[in-house]
C-alpha cells in the first residue's frame, strides 16, 4: 500500500540496505535483475514520448491502492512494515521524523536507523483532470474520511501537484500520511534497539505550505516543492500559462481550493505533534532527545557533505570526489565505498541547480563530480535543460559525469532508475568501509563548524 517510488520509501530502503551491509540497486530491486532491467528500460527510452508517458502512468497506477481498500490501512501495520526493514541490533541513536536524503547519509555515517514520520499512500482514481485540483479533492473526501476514522494516529495531507506529478496524478491521488504519535511498533523498535540512555534524533524540517483544512487531521495541498513557487501554484504566472498551453490544457492557471493556513509541507515538512509524543516516550525511558531543525530540505546537504569530507580527510582518503544525488536516486553504501562526498538535491529543478552551484562556489574544487539526475517525465515549470545540469559537471577539476543518465531522453529517462547504481558501482578505486562515526565525533565536527550552516541542533 506504500508507494515504492516515493521519497520516504526509497530513503528507508537505501538506509536499511546500508545497515545490512549492502548497496542499493534499482531503488531496492533485485540486484540480479539490474542488467536486464537497465537494457529493457533503455529500449523504453527509445519509444515515442507519448508511449513512454503512458508506461510511466501505468507503473505508478500499478502501485496505487483502490480507494475501497483504504479502510483496511492501519497505521500500526505501516509502522511494522517500516521497522521490519532494519536489522535488529543495538544502536547508539535512532532518527525519527522528516524524510531527507542528506539525513540518510548522516544516519549511514552514524550507523543508525531512521523512522519516517511521513509515508505516501497512492490511491487509484480516474476521470479527474490533472489541472482540476478541486475535483481531485472532491473525489477523495469520502475515502479520506474512512482512512482517518480508522487511524487516529495519522494526519492526511492530500497533495496535488499538476506541475511535477502531472503524469502520476492522471490515474492516482497522492495521500501523504503523517504520524502524530510514535505508536506501538515504533515504540517497541526504539525500546528494543536503543542502548540505555541512547539518543533519539528528531529530524524536523520546518518547511510549510499554504493548505486548506478539509476536516479533522485532513488538509489539502496544492502544488509541491520544486520548480514552481508557492505563488505560482496558487495564482499562476506566465511560466505556468505557457506550461499548461504546451500540455494542451484547457486551463491557464490552476483554480485550487482557497488555502486557510500554512501547515507542514506534505512530503518534507515535520508535523510537530510527533515531537510531543517522542518527548513523553524519551522521558519515560530515559533517552536523550536531540532536535535537528532546518527550514528547507536542502539546507542539511552542505553540512553532511562537509562532514563526509572531514571524515575522509581524517581517514587519509582524498576528499576530492563529489557524488550529487537527485531526489530518490540515493546510494549511501557506494558513497562510502567509493570515497565520495554525498550532496543530496531534493529534486531536479532550478532551485536545486542553484543549490549545488552555491555549494561548489564555497566548498572549493572537486577533481571528480558524478551526478544522478531523476526523471519525472514532465517538461515542468522550473525544470533546467540537460545542458544546464552539465554546467555542474564542467566544474570538476578532472572528470565530471552523469551517472547512468540518457541525456537525450531527459526528463523522460526512465532507464536511469536502473542505471544510476550500475554506473556508480563501476567506479574503481574503492575504500574499506569504516566503523561508524561516534556521536562524540559528530559533536566535535559540529563544534568546529559553529554557526556555519542553517541547521539548529538542540
Partner 1 sequence: MRTALGGLVDRRLARAAGSQWTRVDGRRFHARHVGPEAAAAPPVVCVHGVGVSSRYMVATMTKLASAFEVYAIDLPGFGLTDGPPEVLDVVGLADALAGWIQAAGVGRPALLANSVGCQVAVDCAVRYPDRVSRLVLVGPTTDPIARSALRQVLRWLRNLPGERPGQLPLSVADYADAGVGRALRTFGYALADRIEDKLPLVQAPTLVVRGARDPIVPQAWAEEVTRLLPRGRLAVVAGAPHTVNFAAPGSLAELVGPFLVEDGPT
Binding stretches for partner 1 (CB under 8 A)? 367-368, 397-401, 407, 423, 426-429
3-state percent helix, strand, coil for the chain, nearest multiple of 5: 45, 20, 35
Residue closer to partner 1, measured from CB, 157 or 321: 321
Question: Read out DSSP for 186-239?
Answer: HHHHHHHHEEEEEEEEEEEE--EEEEEEEETTEEEEES-SSSS-HHHHHH--HH
The burial of 445, by beta-carbon neighbours within 10 Å (0-12 exposed, 13-18 middle, 19 or more buried), is given as: middle
**Cβ of residue 427: shortest distance to partner 1, in angstroms?**
6
Residue closer to partner 1, measured from CB, 266 or 405: 405
Residue closer to partner 1, measured from CB, 273 or 386: 386
Give Cα separations from 144 to 141, 220, 328 (angstroms): 5, 11, 27
Task: For residue 41, give the 3-state DSSP assignment.
Answer: helix
**Cβ of residue 186: shortest distance to partner 1, in angstroms?**
41
With the C-alpha atoms ordered 140, 142, 147, 153, is the resulting torsion angle positive or negative? positive
**Cβ of residue 337: shortest distance to partner 1, in angstroms?**
14
Question: Read out DSSP for 107-171?
Answer: HHHHT--EEESEEEEEEE--S--TT-HHHHHHHHHHHHHHHHHH-TTEEEEEEE-TTTSTTGGGT
Owner of C-alpha cell 476521470: 127
**Cβ of residue 324: shortest distance to partner 1, in angstroms?**
16
Residue closer to partner 1, measured from CB, 46 or 398: 398
Residue closer to partner 1, measured from CB, 301 or 375: 375
**Cβ of residue 250: shortest distance to partner 1, in angstroms?**
39
What are the cell numbers at 315? 581517514
Residue closer to partner 1, measured from CB, 212 or 422: 422
Residue closer to partner 1, measured from CB, 386 or 439: 386
**Cβ of residue 399: shortest distance to partner 1, in angstroms?**
4
* Residue 221 near residue 160, CB atoms below 8 Å: yes
**Cβ of residue 329: shortest distance to partner 1, in angstroms?**
17
Amino acid at each position: 500500500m506504500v508507494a515504492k517510488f516515493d521519497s520516504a520509501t526509497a530513503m528507508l530502503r537505501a538506509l536499511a540496505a546500508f545497515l545490512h551491509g549492502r548497496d542499493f540497486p534499482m531503488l531496492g530491486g533485485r540486484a540480479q535483475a539490474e542488467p536486464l532491467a537497465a537494457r529493457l528500460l533503455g529500449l523504453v527510452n527509445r519509444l515515442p514520448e507519448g508511449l513512454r508517458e503512458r508506461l510511466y502512468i501505468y507503473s505508478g497506477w500499478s502501485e496505487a491502492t483502490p480507494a475501497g481498500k483504504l479502510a483496511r490501512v492501519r497505521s500500526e501495520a505501516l509502522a511494522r512494515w517500516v521497522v521490519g526493514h532494519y536489522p535488529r541490533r543495538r544502536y547508539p541513536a535512532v532518527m525519527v521524523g522528516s524524510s531527507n536524503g542528506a539525513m540518510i547519509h548522516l544516519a549511514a555515517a552514524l550507523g543508525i536507523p531512521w523512522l519516517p514520520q511521513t509515508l505516501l499512500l497512492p490511491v487509484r482514481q480516474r476521470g479527474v483532470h490533472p489541472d482540476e485540483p478541486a475535483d481531485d479533492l472532491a473525489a477523495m473526501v469520502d475515502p479520506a474520511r474512512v482512512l482517518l476514522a480508522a487511524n487516529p494516529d495519522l494526519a492526511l495531507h492530500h497533495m496535488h501537484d499538476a506541475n511535477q506529478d502531472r503524469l502520476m496524478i492522471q490515474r492516482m491521488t497522492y495521500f501523504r500520511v503523517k504520524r502524530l504519535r510514535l505508536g506501538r511498533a515504533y515504540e517497541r523498535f526504539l525500546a528494543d534497539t536503543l542502548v540505555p540512555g541512547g539518543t533519539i534524533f528528531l529530524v524536523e524540517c520546518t518547511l510549510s505550505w499554504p493548505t486548506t483544512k478539509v476536516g479533522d487531521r485532513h488538509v489539502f495541498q496544492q502544488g509541491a516543492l520544486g520548480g514552481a513557487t508557492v505563488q505560482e501554484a496558487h495564482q499562476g504566472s506566465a511560466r505556468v500559462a505557457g506550461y499548461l498551453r504546451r500540455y494542451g490544457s484547457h486551463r491557464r492557471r490552476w483554480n485550487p481550493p482557497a488555502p486557510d493556513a500554512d501547515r507542514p509541507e506534505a512530503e518534507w515538512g515535520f508535523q510537530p505533534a510527533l515531537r510531543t509524543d517522542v518527548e513523553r516516550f524519551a522521558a519515560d525511558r530515559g533517552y536523550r532527545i536531540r532536535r535537528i531543525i532546518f527550514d528547507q530540505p536542502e539546507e542539511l546537504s552542505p553540512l553532511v557533505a562537509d562532514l563526509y569530507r572531514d571524515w575522509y580527510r581524517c581517514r587519509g582518503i582524498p576528499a576530492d570526489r563529489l557524488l550529487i544525488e537527485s531526489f530518490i536516486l540515493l546510494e549511501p553504501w557506494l558513497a562510502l565505498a567509493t570515497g565520495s562526498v554525498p550532496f543530496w538535491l531534493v529534486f531536479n529543478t532550478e532551485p536545486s541547480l542553484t543549490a549545488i552551484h552555491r555549494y561548489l562556489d564555497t566548498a572549493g574544487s572537486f577533481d571528480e563530480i558524478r551526478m544522478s539526475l531523476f526523471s519525472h517525465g514532465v517538461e515542468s515549470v522550473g525544470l533546467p535543460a540537460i545542458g544546464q545540469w552539465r554546467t555542474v559537471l564542467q566544474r570538476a577539476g578532472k572528470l565530471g559525469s552523469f551517472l547512468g543518465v540518457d541525456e537525450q531522453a531527459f526528463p523522460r529517462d526512465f532507464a536511469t532508475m536502473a542505471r544510476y547504481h550500475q554506473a556508480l558501482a563501476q567506479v574503481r578505486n574503492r575504500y574499506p568501509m569504516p566503523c561508524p562515526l561516534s556521536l562524540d565525533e559528530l559533536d566535535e565536527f559540529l563544534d568546529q563548524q559553529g554557526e556555519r550552516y542553517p541547521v539548529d541542533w538542540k
